[in-house]
Chains A and B, each alone.
Chain A
Amino acid sequence: MQATEARAPAAAREMFYSEALGDALRLEMARDERVIVIGEDIAEHGGAFQVTAGLLERFGPTRIRQTPISEIGIVGAAVGAALTGLRPVVELMYVDFAGLAMDQIVNQAAQNRFMFGGQARVPMVLRTQGGSGRGNAAQHSKSLEAWFAHVAGLKVVMPSTPGDAKGLLTAAIRDDNPVIFLEHKLLYRTKGPVPEGEHLVPLGKADVKRAGRDLVIVTWSREVLFALEAAERLARDEIEAEVVDARTLVPLDKETILASVRKTHRVLVLHEAVKRGGYGAEIAAMIAEEAFDDLDAPPRRLAGLETPIPYAQHLERSVVPQVDDIVRAAKELVA
């Protein structure tokens, strides 16, 4: 996170990722009365990961609208509210619960604009979190970004730092399309500088989190932190890895990724989600199509094993890329 720190304006404050998200919600709700938050346990409890802590006191129970456990009802109500003039932000407690709401996400929210010939807009954000690393096992630990990225009509955002979390959530709330905003459960308690006041990070812009000449690691969400740690270790062996944080998968910032590929000629695409059918395949294929002649080696993917997430800590770590795995893969790639 060194690069982000260096670029942060003077009026930045150290915040947890969860606080940065709450800051974005607070500012956008104060700015626009049409913004409401809807979801489970978001009121007195402050959200399962404390993102909405304090918002009930500030905005009251009609704008911090806590619901029964009714995922498709919640998401569908948000679609209807978005179509008719509100700008709802849904909190879906775990991305693993998206299956319960998938019809409203895919057949309704995503396709509304297209199906009805552009008559309506669906300005809603579906905030949820995924990822492993907390012993929550198979039904509470998945990384499902590829599901959403496959559906025309959705935007998909995956911030890795507190500053990006705030800026991207602000942009997502102001976007007129349904945005799937995927947080990571192990990022909530990470700290970083967050610009005070209004802070926008446009959707569709990747971020070079570390510059390097020997290879580029293209990644997102928590694996960005792993990649930066791996890059530090690689530097000790005089391998300079560039780390590109995609930040939004849809729309994807191809230019930034391709510029790094053209500079380093070697690319490792890294994600926590299962490798088979993962979004890394899309990025690797895009690079092969657009920059084949710039490559000195085939694009390489490092991603989760094709298994549900296991419970035991050592098993959990064994199925998603760890720093050691990244270092090893990078060394093989530059060898």
Chain B
Amino acid sequence: MDRKTARDVYRVMRRIRGFEERSATLFGENKIWGTIHSYAGEEAIAAGVCANLRDDDWITSTHRGHGHCIAKGADLGKMFAELLGRETGYCRGRGGSMHIADTSKGNLGANGIVGGGIPIATGAALTAKQLGTDQVAVSFFGDGAANQGTFHESLNLAAIWKLPAVYVCENNQYAESLPVKRAFAVDDIAVRAAGYGMPGLRIDGRDVRAVYDAAREAIARARAGNGPTLLVADSYRHEGHYYGDPRKYQSKDEIEGWRKRFDPLTDARAWIVDEGIASAADLDAIDREVADEIDRAVAWADAGPLASPIALPGDVYAGD
């Protein structure tokens, strides 16, 4: 990873963390309705993968999708506006946290259905192949989704058709409350790739450099027409499944220990400073800039009009 990319991915990770922290505050203040699933702790995956993507490449995201959306280049103001139910939100208040898409940047959408985005990314990759473009589709999904039928059917289709797809499994250790050890009889989910005839790689999802390097190779492989790859990134979500999750399935020791051990932002700061890519003061400046950006984004979102009433049939059907 070159020096500029290192600073860029640090900023992206900080934006994601900052977005999640502010979302938690707004949720606590009852300004956000519904449910929020925090991506805090998993920032290195979205940032490291998306740093290798172009605006015209596609991603599909998950219910824990803020990080993917931000890493793919979304505007924070429009994201906050969506969470606040405003007309100025990405989805005009129709979608909310679990259904943010930003098609202008190739984000085909978060998904409330575990595993729902995997076949959709596969179809996007089919479009690239069919139309002869060199676009790539990346599907982000969790360890829980790796046990859905869509995972099996999609990876097989992509492999037999040699589609330009990259499957990124974010193993954050829990499918809602079920620990991975009780959901898989294998320790390494990436071994499943062999069953589809595609490369599979397990990577440290805390280390943005490791994610970046693995994604770079997989995306280049896809773009060159050499077919799909499965990446499995070991990670840990700092929050519960959703804000307000009592986390009865985890011990306090585990949560505190893992949070400290598993923080991609702390790690990134350490090596960026160690390697002389930026000073601590430089990184502090980035942190302040991001904090200001978030303040401005929330203020802009809050000033937006409430989402307009549902208009039928146009909201539901195109061209009517």
A residues touching B (Cβ–Cβ < 8 Å)?
A: 34, 36, 62-63, 65, 67-68, 70, 72-86, 88, 103-104, 107-108, 112-121, 123, 152-153, 155, 175-177, 251
**Are A152 and B318 in contact, CB atoms less than 8 angstroms apart?**
no
B residues touching A (Cβ–Cβ < 8 Å)?
A: 58, 60, 89-95, 99-104, 108-109, 111-113, 116, 118-131, 137, 149-150, 153-154, 156-157, 160-161, 313-319
**Are B315 and A103 in contact, CB atoms less than 8 angstroms apart?**
no
In the assembly, what is the distance between CA of A119 and CA of B89, in Å?
Answer: 12
Contacts of A62 in B (CB 8 A): 129-130
In the assembly, what is the distance between CA of A21 and CA of B239, in Å?
Answer: 53
**Are B122 and A116 in contact, CB atoms less than 8 angstroms apart?**
no
Answer whether A70 and B101 are a contact pair too, CB < 8 Å, given A76-B123, A80-B120, A115-B109: no
Contacts of A34 in B (CB 8 A): 131
Answer whether A77 and B126 are a contact pair too, CB < 8 Å, given A117-B89, A117-B91, A119-B91: yes
Partner of B124, one of A80, A116, A152: A80
Partner of A116, one of B101, B119, B154: B101
In the assembly, what is the distance between CA of A86 and CA of B256, in Å?
Answer: 48
**Are A73 and B157 in contact, CB atoms less than 8 angstroms apart?**
yes
In the assembly, what is the distance between CA of A107 and CA of B99, in Å?
Answer: 11
14 contacts between A and B (CB under 8 A): A62-B129, A62-B130, A70-B157, A77-B123, A80-B119, A81-B126, A84-B124, A85-B127, A86-B131, A113-B317, A115-B91, A116-B99, A119-B91, A176-B319
**Are B127 and A86 in contact, CB atoms less than 8 angstroms apart?**
yes
Closest approach, in angstroms, between the C-beta of B117 and any C-beta of chain A?
A: 8
In the assembly, what is the distance between CA of A88 and CA of B268, in Å?
Answer: 44
Closest residue of B by beta carbon distance from A88: B123
Closest approach, in angstroms, between the C-beta of A120 and any C-beta of chain B?
A: 5
Contacts of B90 in A (CB 8 A): 116-117, 119
**Are A80 and B123 in contact, CB atoms less than 8 angstroms apart?**
yes
**Are A116 and B317 in contact, CB atoms less than 8 angstroms apart?**
no
Answer whether A107 and B112 are a contact pair too, CB < 8 Å, given A116-B90, A153-B316: yes
In the assembly, what is the distance between CA of A152 and CA of B112, in Å?
Answer: 17
Closest approach, in angstroms, between the C-beta of B13 and any C-beta of chain A?
A: 26
In the assembly, what is the distance between CA of A320 and CA of B99, in Å?
Answer: 42
Contacts of B89 in A (CB 8 A): 117
Top 4 closest pairs, chain A to chain B, by CB: A76-B119, A80-B123, A73-B153, A117-B91
